[in-house]
Amino acid sequence: MRLPRPSSPANASLALVLGSCLAACASEPLLLESPCPPPAKSTAPVVTTPPKTESTTRTLEVRLTPTRDGGSEVVALDVSMRFSVPPVDFGEARPLVFRLDDARVEDLDELTARDAEGSLPLVRNEGEGKDAAGAPAAWRAERRARGPVTVSYTRKLAAGSAAQAAAPLSASAGGFLGVGRAFLLVPETTEPHEMRVRWDVSGLGEGASGASSLGAGDVEVSGSPTALAAATWAAGSLHRVTIERPATREGEGASFAVTSLGRGVFDVLDAGAWASRAWASVRPLADAPLGHFDIFLRSSGASGRRFDASVAGRSAIAVGDEGLTFGWPEKRILAKAMARASLGYSVAGWFDEGFVSYFAVDALRRANLVAARDVLAEVDARATQYFSSAEARAEDRGMLFAAELDARIRAKSGGKRSLADVAREIAPKAGDGEAQATGPRRVPEAALREAIVKELGAEGEARFGAVIGKGGVAEVPDDAFGPCFVKVKKKVPRYELGFDPASATEKKVRGLSKKSAAAKAGLAEGDRITAADLGDGTIDRPVEIEVDRGGKLTKVRWLPRGENVDGFSFAFGPKAPASCDAPKGR
């Protein structure tokens, strides 16, 4: 920033001399022909002028224009960003740098920038840019920017992106849905801005509108430009429901919104009513007011049972196949996404996903937002997968260990403390020892271990080391999942493919076990494989192999189950309360 200079240096010097002279002669007759006496020495302390601070409000104006190529699908998003002053931190003189955190360089087209002096060339910043593995891309101005800066470009959308559940930006149902970091160039500055985002959806047809997790339609927000990159954005035929005050005491004063792009996967009223209460139930994981949360729904365009949800700040993007109903699997996935958003961090350990799954299920159970039979089915599936899988599934083992720790902490504190309290208290340690520009902050595993030991003492130290360090089995007590259930011993069939998994890539069956389910189903050593679906590593999804026997194609299908191993699960207890709605005659 350049400081203002006097319009005439000579006049300024004359004014300074006259002022000093008048001050020194104030007690004497003013005679123009007499020289001014020398000023007396002052013994007062020297007063220094503090450095100037920026007083001008920085503004950022963004215009988003989704475009079609004459068909019904969005193929690009035109973006214009106007900064009132160059977006660098106050006092810095370095060139501008813009980052695109979740896209490829080739996804951008017609990138231009201008400032008060005209064209402002932007070049690929190779030192900061994306490598072959897909790190964020960056562009740097070739000279220092002066005055207002305008950046314009086109963000292209890949064909078929709707079918990709994890796509950060996708065209779907005649519109688009995605996170800001996938299409907004973010300047490297932390300076606050007054930001205005305007939509131009005239190319999307009658009734189209735009919305984001910052609000419906055009929005005005204050903060760093990174806030726009962290938000979720959608445009097209939107169906939006906002619930201002969830029907729980904890949710008073909060707001919740569900936005569906196109026809959507579920009815937004049904999904919104349940999800708003679920958000209130998981918010105690954070030591902060309930605040606002958004869920954005879109269809994958395919038929099936797939449903996924990803978190973007205080919002989640959910993608589902056509024909889904809003049942327990979908609710569990949404609740897990909300639990993750409430925590605001992850733990640097294999057990992290399991802990979040436990928090979600436990919060729903305590808020009576899930039926006891669904909790039982979830816990039984987790335990079965853990004991049966060829490799210990991290999420299943983590969920069971979270249940153990929560039960131990509640028992030792007389119900005054829980694992959720620990989760809140270690949140300030998120990011310790890390230098990551994007992505969720992480809490070191050592911080969680220290907190558990603080709660449970030597008992916590021993159990953490046995399960987390050595891969031991969680010791889950009977009442870990509420009064409806008791823990029971269970024989669980071990996952067994029945032949060498490398056979699928080698296109020939080898290492076949004669006593395996594969052999009993008709698979033979030496069979030539033409197609293979090896399942998902669990005992409940069939394996299917197509083999060529002398020109005749034969499909062999079986459940990959081997010998039984000792495990445990849960069942409705004989004295389960009536509210558990346990089946009769159990």
Residue from 403, 397, 423 nearest 285 by CA: 423
Give tens-digit pLDDT for 122-171. 998 765 444 444 556 889 999 999 999 999 999 999 776 555 656 789 99
- The enclosing domain of 501 has a CATH number of 2.30.42.10
Q: Which of 447, 402, 399 shows the shortest CA–CA distance to 426?
A: 447
The Cα 451–Cα 457 span in angstroms is: 10
pLDDT one-digit tens code per residue, 477-514: 988 999 999 999 999 999 999 999 999 999 999 999 99
Tokens 């270690």 correspond to: 426
What pLDDT, in 10s, does the model give residues 236-259? Answer: 999 999 887 644 544 455 688 999
Residue 150 covered by a domain? yes
Residue 427 shares a structural domain with residue 549: no
Of residues 497 and 47, more confidently modeled:
497
Q: How far apart are CA 535 and CA 496, in angstroms?
A: 11
Give the domain-ending residue among 206, 236, 266.
236
What is the rounded average pLDDT of the residues 302-306?
88
Residue 197 is assigned to a structural domain of this protein: yes
The domain boundary, picked from 183, 209, 236, lies at 236
CA torsion sign for 396, 397, 399, 400 is: positive
Domain count, the chain: 3
Q: Report the pLDDT averaged over residues 558-562.
A: 94
Helix or strand holding residue 259 (H, E): strand 255-261
DSSP 5: -
Average pLDDT over residues 407-428: 95
Q: Quick one: 353 and 463 in the same domain?
A: yes
- 37 part of a folded domain: no
Same domain, 518 and 392: no
**Predicted local distance difference test score (pLDDT) of residue 536:** 84
The average pLDDT across 542-559 equals 94
Strand ranges (E), 496-551: 528-533, 543-549
Q: Of 328, 318, 312, 327, which is closest to residue 297 (Cα–Cα)?
A: 318
Judgement on whether residues 543 and 508 belong to the same structural domain of the protein: yes
Do 412 and 458 belong to one domain? yes
Q: What is the mean pLDDT of residues 439-453?
A: 90
Distance CA 458, CA 469 (A): 15
* Whether residues 394 and 501 fall in one domain: no
**Residue of 363, 373, 364 whose CA lies nearest to 571:** 373
End-to-end C-alpha distance for the chain, whole angstroms = 77
Do 361 and 399 reside in the same domain of the chain? yes
pLDDT, residue 389, reads 81
Residue-range definition of the domain harbouring residue 474:
344-491+567-580
Residue 527: burial class (beta carbons within 10 Å; 0-12, 13-18, 19+): buried
CA nearest to 67, candidates 80, 53, 54, 57? 80
Which residues touch 41 (CB under 8 Å, ≥6 apart)?
none
d(C-alpha 508, C-alpha 530), whole Å: 9
* Residues whose CB falls within 8 Å of the CB of residue 100, separated by 6 or more in sequence, listed in order: 107, 108, 136, 137, 138, 181, 183, 184, 185, 186
Distance between CA atoms of residues 269 and 266, nearest Å? 9
162 occurs within a structural domain: yes
Examine residue 115 and state whether it is found in any structural domain, yes or no: yes
Please identify, among 208, 236, 264, the residue that sits at the C-terminal boundary of a domain. Answer: 236
Neighbours of 183 (CB within 10 A): 26
- In three-state secondary structure terms, 466 is helix
Say which residue the tokens 């796509």 belong to: 167
- Do 507 and 386 sit in the same domain of this protein? no
Domain assignment present for 423: yes
State whether 85 and 220 are in the same domain: yes
Domain assignment of residue 33, yes or no: no
Does 361 share its domain with 410?
yes
Residue 42 falls inside a structural domain:
no
Q: Are residues 506 and 471 in the same domain?
A: no
Task: Give the Cα-Cα-Cα angle 197, 203, 208 (nearest 5 degrees).
Answer: 70
Instruction: Verify that 418 and 509 share a domain, yes or no.
Output: no
